């Protein structure tokens, strides 16, 4: 049996759990509080859709954001609730904004139908419902939904790949530039502090040469984790490239940033990194340069340049240290 009633599915008791919908093309959520009408819709659709039937729009509103449905069919003339109100609620929620909606409309309800179409309802059928027409329209909506889902996920992937470093999953240099630019403008405008910490692994070439390039990669990944775990939510850790990283700290002055650097330095040096196919314990240290937004004529580039000069001093003075 492809249709399930609200009671059979255990709604709303199973809200929050995944709705298992398998072996069909369309996953349709239907809101209809007239038994005869509901049965006719299910019969028209069940050849290639799973239909979950609900009587109460309030329940539909709770399950629709799960992402388990391709289409919502709602009767415009429910006996005990307002189908149009459900449409407007679904359109206003982020998670259901793109869920296709189809209305079942009684002749004489044209004014409300037009309001529905105005608020973004995708399609409708008039009563008495012609089963083949309904099935064809549902197929079209389901296909379109699948395709736009696919396009949206591809777009999200592309956007993500453009700003993330594949080895460490930290943000990359490109993202750092735009992020730092934004924070810089905000800080300069509001007279708030802003600091950057430039981090470079000491003698990383030796780590590669001794333990192999894959072990070197493991060290970089573990380092990224240690950085991420030891900064605040509003701070951003990026991989600039190679064994160089940056932490950007909004609302943080030079002295506090130095202390953060010192804490990060210790959390790197304190415990060996487990790296390579043989799980070798590798001792790692890093040198760091700190700089902050300080001068009228400062730019993001100038601050990074000062951090780089500080980092150079940290290397020159013996490594495994923070200079600010
Ligand atoms: P210093 O203490 O002066 O920073 O010495 P260093 O050896 O860390 O610096 P150097 O710039 O000489 O060497 C960096 C090395 O990092 C050289 C390069 O092969 C290696 N490297 C760059 N990117 C990667 C990577 O993605 N993975 C691995 N395993 N190694 C990398
Ligand atoms: Mg380097
Ligand atoms: Mg170098
Ligand atoms: Mg280095």
113: cis peptide before it, omega within 30°? no
| Alpha carbon separation from 240 to 215, 245, 246, 311 (Å, rounded) | 19, 5, 7, 14
C-alpha to C-alpha distance for 308 and 288, rounded to whole angstroms = 9
Judge whether 182 and 89 are in contact, CB under 8 Å.
Answer: no
Query: CA separation (Å) from 252 to 170, 191, 260, 288?
Result: 21, 12, 10, 16
Measured distance CA(268)–CA(212) in Å, rounded: 20
Ligand number, closest to the Cα atom of 245: 2
Instruction: Read off the pLDDT band of 185 (50, 70, 90).
Output: very high
User: Sorting pLDDT into bands at 50, 70 and 90, what band is 286?
Assistant: very high
pLDDT at residue 42 in the model: 96
Q: CB–CB of 136/116 below 8 Å?
A: no
C-alpha to C-alpha distance for 252 and 292, rounded to whole angstroms:
8
**Is position 296 annotated as part of the catalytic site?**
no
pLDDT at residue 6 in the model: 46
Average pLDDT, the chain: 91
User: Active site residue: 110, 243, 255, 262, which one?
Assistant: 243
pLDDT given at position 252: 96
What's this model's pTM, rounded to 2 decimal places?
A: 0.67
- Lookup: tokens for 70: 């391709």
Ligand 1 shell residues, CB under 6 Å:
167, 200-205, 208, 213, 216-217, 220, 242-243, 315, 319
Which amino acid residue places its CA nearest to atom 24 of ligand 1?
242
> Does 8 have pLDDT greater than 50?
no
Which candidate, 270, 235, 96, places its Cα nearest to that of 88?
Answer: 96
């Amino acid at each position: 049996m492809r249709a399930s009633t609200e009671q059979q599915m255990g709604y709303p008791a199973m809200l929050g759990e995944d709705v298992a919908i398998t072996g069909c093309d369309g996953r349709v959520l239907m809101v209809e509080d007239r038994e005869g009408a509901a049965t006719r819709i299910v019969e028209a659709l069940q050849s290639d859709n799973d239909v979950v039937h609900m009587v109460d729009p309030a329940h539909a509103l709770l399950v629709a954001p799960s992402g388990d449905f391709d289409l919502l069919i709602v009767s415009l003339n429910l006996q005990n609730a307002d189908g149009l109100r459900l449409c407007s609620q679904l359109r206003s929620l982020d998670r259901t904004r793109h869920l296709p909606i189809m209305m079942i409309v009684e002749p004489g309800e044209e004014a409300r139908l037009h309001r529905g179409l105005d608020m973004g309802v995708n399609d409708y059928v008039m009563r008495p419902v012609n089963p083949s027409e309904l099935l064809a329209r549902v197929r079209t909506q389901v296909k379109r939904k699948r395709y736009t889902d696919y396009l949206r996920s591809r777009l999200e992937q592309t956007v993500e790949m453009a700003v993330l470093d594949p080895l460490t999953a930290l943000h990359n240099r490109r993202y750092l530039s735009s992020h730092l630019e934004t924070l810089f403008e905000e800080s300069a405008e509001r007279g708030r502090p802003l600091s950057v910490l430039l981090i470079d692994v000491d003698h990383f070439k030796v780590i590669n040469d001794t333990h192999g390039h894959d072990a070197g990669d493991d060290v970089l990944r573990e380092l990224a984790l240690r950085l991420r775990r030891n900064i605040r939510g509003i701070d951003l850790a990026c991989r600039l490239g190679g064994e160089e990283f940056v932490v950007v700290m909004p609302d943080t002055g030079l002295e506090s940033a130095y202390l953060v650097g010192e804490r990060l330095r210790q959390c790197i040096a304190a415990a060996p990194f487990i790296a390579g196919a043989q799980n070798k314990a590798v001792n790692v240290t890093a040198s760091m340069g700190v700089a902050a937004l300080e001068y009228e004529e400062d730019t993001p580039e100038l601050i990074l340049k000062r951090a780089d000069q500080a980092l150079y001093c940290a290397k020159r003075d013996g490594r495994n240290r923070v200079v600010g």
